[in-house]
Amino acid sequence: MSYTTIIHASSLTNDEEKQITGKIPGELIQREGYYRLIHSGKVERAMLEQLRVQFDFDLNCLPESFNPEEVGLLITDMDSTLIAIECIDEIADMQGIKAEVSEITEAAMRGELDFAASLKKRVALLAGLPADQLQRVYDERLRLNPGADKMLAGLKQKGIKTALVSGGFTFFTNQLKGEIGLDYTLANTLEIENGKLTGRVSGDIVGAEAKAALLQSLCKELGITTNQVIAMGDGANDLLMLEKAGLSVAYHAKPAVREATSVAFDHSGLEGVCHLLQL
């Protein structure tokens, strides 16, 4: 059986080629922006980690069950994955309490705090903030992570549906859906009264279970299996969703997430998804 390792580098020196193929013997094929290395034996993750550190670019061996031609859905987290910020931390900055809220966010993403409880605690600190500050965050601070445009164009080219699922807020996911052409979104709703945040979330909290449930429900809706899904995230509340996908991607992620996923982007931008799809 042959395996494919994706080398997320636009070019390799002769020395880099020799060192990589010396440790992973196989056929090296250069593509636009990356390389495919076709080899007969499975590569130990520790070997890839060693090379990743040595060369400052990512190497990922695709699972043998993953077929890029059959992918029907990419489902991704929003904060610090599709976009470069944590929205709740930037909202908190408008209230002058970013450091306090960021500390809770980091602990929750590492899995040290219950996500729902930590979200309620953080949102409570936002009580009284004028709701128009949310648009300021969107306009002034929200940016897509590098490579997002290329990834989205590649997914559209392949007819792959896109879902954005977030423990963040619908204010941001809904605008992103319209702006960049996503197919599905799910997030929490901030309660607003008299033009100000109440410090509460409306309805059920979108956390780890809801993210995983959306993946499964979209598979049913689209008539595909979970093996035909790429899931991507960076924090502990993404783990249940990532576990269910045929290919799970840790995007500049916390250690617990990197250890649990099929592949990891430590250096690559979101264009790395196109490499996994062999576009």
Question: What residues are labeled active site?
Answer: 77, 79
CB 250 within 8 A of CB 92: no
- CA neighbor of 5 nearest in space, from 22, 24, 23: 24
Q: State the DSSP string of 150-213.
A: HHHHHHHHHT-EEEEEEEEEHHHHHHHHHHHT-SEEEEEEEEEETTEEEEEEESS---HHHHHH
> Residue 56: what residue type?
D
> Token pair for residue 34?
């990356």
CA distance 71 to 257: 22
CB 270 within 8 A of CB 164: no
- Other CB atoms within 10 Å distance of the CB of residue 44: 11
Which residues lie closer than 8 Å to 28 by C-beta, 6 or more apart? 17, 20, 21, 35, 36, 37
What is the rounded end-to-end Cα distance, in angstroms, of the chain?
Answer: 22
